[in-house]
Amino acid sequence: MKRFAHSIWLGIAIVALSTTAALASTPDLTGQWIVEQTGYNGPTTGTISVNMTGTTFVGNNLKTGTSFTGGYCQPGVVKGCNSPLQINGKWRDAKGGTGWLTVQVTPNGHSLNGSWGYNGRKENGTFVGNKILPPVKITTEGTWTVAAVTGPTLFSGPMTCKESGPTSVCTLGPGTLNGKFRTSDKVRYKWTSSSQNGWFSFWFNDDGQSFNGLWGYGPDTTPVMGRVVGQRQGPPARM
């Protein structure tokens, strides 16, 4: 009986530790968010201020007077909770209207999406949100993972870049890329390999951690042969 009781308490301790670890890994949403909403009164865009304490949050849209409360749920403990990154919450507007909302958060805590409705009713609309982040330094410096979206897979795999002023030199696949920034977020290259040459261009997304690119053979007046996307390996450089 003592061994059985010990097993029960050991199991409870493991569950408690697992729950604590899961809760500790939930991202902090504190900050300003741009949220686009659909539903009643058509699509709207607003700025939401969020403060978190532990796993619970309070949010406010100062312009409309709408407030939000809620927290991360626990899968297997809370009915309808399907992910440790799910938030169940409530909202109240300035006219006294109240309702519910369900939110899914990305692991890095920079984006979210979800649905909302009035109390006792089904879903009325949806929303997406992006956190307003500190500006990042746009730089090619570092290592990237590049994947082909369309066309040949000539440019795919790891890419390593060095940067000096506006000049950027990268190695990718069988080629070497030599280029310069044309704008603050766009780089234009000439690439060469043992048997071929061409042009390569990509522009950064606002997060500084990813880009969209295209390339072709020969001079830069030739048609696009392929499109690629890149993702930085590691955090971006802050300004």
Domain enclosing residue 35, as ranges: 27-131
Is residue 7 domain-resident?
Answer: no
Asked whether residue 169 falls in the same domain as residue 112, the answer is no
Nearest of 236, 146, 237 to residue 189 by alpha carbon = 146
Burial of 3 (C-beta count, 10 Å sphere; 0-12/13-18/19+): exposed
Tens of pLDDT along 105-121? Answer: 988 888 899 999 999 89
Work out the average pLDDT over 56-65: 94
Tens of pLDDT along 70-99? Answer: 999 989 888 889 889 999 999 999 999 999
Is residue 239 domain-resident?
Answer: no
Asked whether residue 117 falls in the same domain as residue 160, the answer is no
Asked whether residue 118 falls in the same domain as residue 153, the answer is no
Asked whether residue 111 falls in the same domain as residue 31, the answer is yes
Is a pLDDT exceeding 50 seen at residue 10?
A: no
State how many domains the chain has.
Answer: 2
Asked whether residue 68 falls in the same domain as residue 127, the answer is yes
* CATH code for the domain in which residue 123 is found: 2.40.128.120
Asked whether residue 91 falls in the same domain as residue 154, the answer is no
pTM: 0.56
Is a pLDDT exceeding 50 seen at residue 158?
A: yes
How far is the C-alpha of 190 from the C-alpha of 200, rounded, in Å? 6
Task: Output the average pLDDT for the chain.
Answer: 85
How far is the C-alpha of 76 from the C-alpha of 56, rounded, in Å? 18
Specify the higher pLDDT residue, 235 or 50: 50
